[in-house]
A and B are shown apart, each in its own frame.
Chain A
Amino acid sequence: DIQMTQSPSSLSASIGDRVTITCQASQDISRFLNWYQQKPGKAPKLLIFDASNLETGVPSRFSGSGSGTDFTFTISSLQPEDIAIYYCQQYDNLITFGQGTRLEIK
């Protein structure tokens, strides 16, 4: 199975900060990489698909980049409603998720 490793596992940032989360795959997954946001008590929500495509209706402060084994997810200016856990997911070979990054307000 392809292993997905996110970094950091938790992150504390201030409103307005630029926030970056990385996701590394154990083997080349091309651009078959998605990012989800999960708020407490809710199902995950798709934010970015195929590494860099913004899902319809998702604010433009969210972005993604990368290909192969290394990927980055960025929030350009952190807002209070962005407090959540963020997961990366690969679907190049079956499906696996990263362990999640818990984002908190400093």
Chain B
Amino acid sequence: QVQLVQSGAEVKKPGASVKVSCKTSGYTFTRYTLHWVRQAPGQRLEWMGFINAANDDTRYSQKFRDRFTIMKDTSANTAYMELSSLRSEDTALYYCVRVVYRSSWGPFDYWGQGTLVTVSS
């Protein structure tokens, strides 16, 4: 069965960086695109970007473009997101999600369990 398992909760100070992993299993990693979505307390879900594991294409939300990177390790069937220059507003639950179609865009059929990132001095 398809699974997306994310790394554990992180507590970071303002200005620091955080890297979250998303280890996948149960499907062919290079055939699908993985997105990252976050949910700050009491806020709506917010799209951050994606990596197409088939062609290495990446796309980022303009809001995060300067400080957000998505990468992958195909040998480990794992994707990573790194967010730098953290501020308190980045405190949120971060999800990796898989697109149901074999394209970069589409409905999200599988979600990771979420990784809580807390930014606090």
Give the contacting residue for B107; candidates A49, A87, A94, A96; CB below 8 A.
Answer: A49
User: Does B72 lie at the interface of the complex (its beta carbon under 8 Å from any beta carbon of A)?
Assistant: no
CB-CB contacts of A24-56 with B at 8 A, as 1s and 0s?
A: 000000000010100000011110011000010
Inter-subunit contact A97/B47 (CB<8 Å):
yes
- Given A46-B107, A46-B108, A94-B95 contact (CB < 8 Å): no
Inter-subunit contact B61/A50 (CB<8 Å):
no
Give the total number of A-B pairs whose CB atoms are below 8 A apart: 44
CB-CB contacts of B89-113 with A at 8 A, as 1s and 0s?
A: 0000001000010000111110111
User: Size of chain B's interface in residues, with CB distance under 8 A?
Assistant: 18
Inter-subunit contact B47/A87 (CB<8 Å):
no
Interface size for chain A: under 10, 10 to 19, 20 to 34, or 35 or more residues? 10 to 19
User: Does B10 lie at the interface of the complex (its beta carbon under 8 Å from any beta carbon of A)?
Assistant: no
Beta-carbon nearest neighbor of B113 in chain A:
A43
Interface core residue of B37, B95, B108, B112 (most chain A CB under 10 Å):
B108
Inter-subunit contact A94/B113 (CB<8 Å):
no
Min CB distance B112 to A, Å, is 7
Inter-subunit contact B109/A91 (CB<8 Å):
no
User: Does B35 lie at the interface of the complex (its beta carbon under 8 Å from any beta carbon of A)?
Assistant: yes
- Given A43-B114, A46-B100, A97-B107 contact (CB < 8 Å): no
- List residues of A whose CB falls within 8 A of some B CB: 34, 36, 43-46, 49-50, 55, 87, 89, 91, 94-100
- List residues of B whose CB falls within 8 A of some A CB: 35, 37, 44-47, 61, 95, 100, 105-109, 111-114
Which 10 A/B pairs are nearest by Cβ-Cβ distance?
Answer: A43-B111, A95-B47, A49-B107, A97-B45, A34-B107, A99-B44, A91-B105, A97-B44, A46-B107, A46-B109
